[in-house]
Amino acid sequence: MSKEVTEPRDEFQELLDTLPKQRHFDGPYRYHYKDFWCSSYAVRGIIPFQRHFEAHDSDILLATLPKSGTTWLKALIFSIVNRTKFPLSQSPLLTTNPHELVRFFEFDLYSKDEKPNLEDLPCPRIFATHVPYNALPQSIVNSRCRIVYIGRNPLDQFISYWHFVLKNQYENSETFSLDEGFELFCRGIQNFGPFWDHVLGYWGASIESQKVLFLKYEDLKEDVTSHVRKLAEFMGFPFSVEEEKQELVKQISNLCSFENLKNLEVNRVGGRLVPVVQYSSLFRKGQVGDWANHLSPSMADRLEKIMEEKLGGSGLTF
């Protein structure tokens, strides 16, 4: 998806030269930085993020692996927190992609500016990241900010990523077959992965600390409204009796539903997150279990065994 860029030689390039690298299934290299795999572009944002970000106790941070429900959660968190500021009929979500409303540290805020001014943002500040728990800046770990994590079944996450790569390719970029991509995934080589380390990092944190809420995509699909309430309480914005009477929980769930967001003009036509990522590619099927249409039973068995081995004893299952 992201094309190999010839970077100017600087401290980042010197660091990249020392890191193990592997081709990712979208073509370009991923670098093994601090025990996880990521693109050179991400490393350039992650380092200043780790160095300079100062968390506030009131901050809300969404953490995910790509293709796990990030866009959905950005929309839900933004809508819950800002519901008194914007009536739902005038929600910025109706005209703005969720990624513009809740921005990524590594791809956006710190990739454009080494020290962005984040102090003037309205409170609570809401941010997003794909960075694993162990690589978050100390100021986040030490603060009382709240972290919402959403994980997804790895088979569906892999297939979702696979389609995302197909849709957002540079012309002529070298890509891998589905089998080769799956092989890399099973070896832990994926953006911000291995998968198991990423989910276990946040899972462990959610057991140790009340400031981390661990959600699963599949649970939200099954019952979104009870999760909207749970999220609101966790973030310190519970629904009042009056709001419950007005069915605000249902209205927010509907506003942020796959069908609604996918069909909004802003998400259908033209918009792009970075030059190659079309907004429309963020909304594909939004289903649980689509992997079965693409992966053989033996591939699924293989990944399920890996998951049993890696997650075994943690209490976490997908």
Q: What is the C-alpha separation between 46 and 70, in angstroms, rounded?
A: 18
146 phi-psi bin (left φ>0, alpha ψ -120 to 50, beta other): beta
204 binds ligand A3P (CB under 6 A): no
Residue 257 as a binder of ligand A3P (CB under 6 A): the answer is yes
What the block records as the tokens of 214 is 């661990």
HEC readout, 105-121: HHHHHHHHCCCCCCCCC
Residue 256 contacts ligand A3P per CB under 6 A: yes
Long-range contacts of range 236-245, CB-CB < 8 Å, 24 or more positions apart? 236/124, 236/146, 237/80, 237/81, 237/83, 243/83
Q: Where are the strands (E) in 135-182, listed by range?
A: 146-151
CA 267 to chain centre: 18
One residue of 163, 211, 230, 294 binding ligand A3P per CB under 6 A: 163
Of the candidate spans 185-193, 200-208, 253-261, 292-300, the one that interacts with ligand A3P by CB under 6 A turns out to be 253-261
Give the span between the Cα atoms of 78 and 122, in whole angstroms.
12
- By CB under 6 A, the residues from 283 to 302 that bind ligand A3P are 283-286, 290
Site stretch for ligand A3P (CB under 6 A), options 16-24, 35-43, 69-77, 134-142: 69-77
Q: Of residues 50, 68, 82, 129, which one binds ligand A3P by CB under 6 A?
A: 68
70 binds ligand A3P per the rule CB under 6 A: yes
Binding mask 1-30 for ligand A3P (x = CB under 6 A): ------------------------------
Name the one range near ligand A3P by CB under 6 A: 103-111, 168-176, 207-215, 251-259: 251-259
Closest Cα partner for 92 from 113, 107, 74? 74
Is residue 261 involved in binding ligand A3P (CB under 6 A)? Answer: yes
Residue type, 307: M
Using CB under 6 A as the binding rule, the residues of this chain from 141 to 160 that contact ligand A3P are 156, 160
Q: Measured from the CB of residue 144, what is the shortest distance to ligand A3P in angstroms?
A: 26
List the one residue out of 56, 57, 51, 53 whose CA is nearest residue 11: 51
Q: Which is nearer to ligand A3P, 252 or 311 (CB)?
A: 252
> Which position among 24, 99, 130, 227 bears the catalytic label?
130
Q: With contact defined as beta carbons under 8 Å apart, do 311 and 214 qualify?
A: no
> Would residue 130 show up in a list of annotated catalytic residues for this protein?
yes
Q: How far is the CB of 102 from ligand A3P (least distance, A)?
A: 11
Q: Could you give the residue numbers annotated as active site? A: 130
**Contact residues for ligand A3P (CB under 6 A)?**
64, 66-72, 156, 160, 163, 256-258, 261, 282-286, 290
